[in-house]
Amino acid sequence: MTRRKRIDFDGVRRELAGRCFICEQLAGNPEYAHHVVYEDEQVIAFLQRFQTIYGYVLVAPKEHREHVVDDFSEDEYLGLQAVVHRVGRAICRTVPTERLYVLSLGSRQANAHVHWHLAPLPPGVPFEEQQLAMLDTDLGLDLGEDELVDLAARIRAQLAETGTGPPGA
């Protein structure tokens, strides 16, 4: 049986008060620390703070940008997608995954910093609970800090083990 807990996303938005949670993390604000699975000079990937799906990771450019294609040169965009691919492969090798969902979500009202969601659909989920229904929930996994540390470490290990580390590695 999977332990779940309710997530107050409205409360989270009020707490942020218009601040960018990715920029806050990059600035070292401990209130917005996430478990990092990958980082280089331009990109950071980390466990989604509220694990609604086990192994859910966000990938973002370190520089605050808001438009998913217009704010990037083609080379910058392709570099980001190379990291999305590498981290996605590591996730799929770490947790049971029927399909890896890759989306760029956010809005001007909240989460304006461009980021990609890498959400591994577990095997056996009924069709009506898949796709956007899988992501549109306020029920998060009730994971302890030890479980999150372990999960992040296993994804990092897969990145290192499979040669899916930094671009050019």
Mean pLDDT of all residues belonging to the chain: 86
Q: What is the mean pLDDT of residues 69-73?
A: 94
Rounded to 5 degrees, φ, ψ at 46 are -150, 155
pTM, full prediction = 0.86
Could you give the CA distance from residue 75 to residue 143 in angstroms, rounded to a whole number?
A: 37
pLDDT of res. 116: 96
- Give the HSE-up count for residue 107: Cα atoms under 13 Å, Cβ half-sphere: 3
pLDDT of res. 163: 65
Give the pLDDT confidence of 23-48 residue by residue, as tens digits.
988 999 888 888 999 999 999 999 98
pLDDT of res. 166: 44
pLDDT of res. 165: 44
pLDDT of res. 169: 39
Q: What is the mean pLDDT of residues 4-10?
A: 70
The DSSP code sequence of the chain is ---EEE--HHHHHHHHTT--HHHHHHTT-GGG---EEEE-SSEEEEE-SS-SSTT-EEEEESS----TTTTS-HHHHHHHHHHHHHHHHHHHHHS--SEEEEEE---SSS--S--EEEEEEPTT--GGGSTHHHHS-SEEE---HHHHHHHHHHHHHHHHHTT-SSTT-
Beta strand 43-47 with 4-6 is: unpaired
Could you give the CA distance from residue 18 to residue 149 in angstroms, rounded to a whole number?
A: 28
Give the pLDDT confidence of 77-133 residue by residue, as tens digits.
999 999 999 999 999 999 999 999 999 987 777 778 999 999 999 999 889 888 887
pLDDT of res. 131: 87
Q: What is the mean pLDDT of residues 155-167?
A: 75
Nearest Cα to Cα of residue 118 among 30, 165, 53, 163: 53
Nearest Cα to Cα of residue 56 among 125, 162, 155: 155
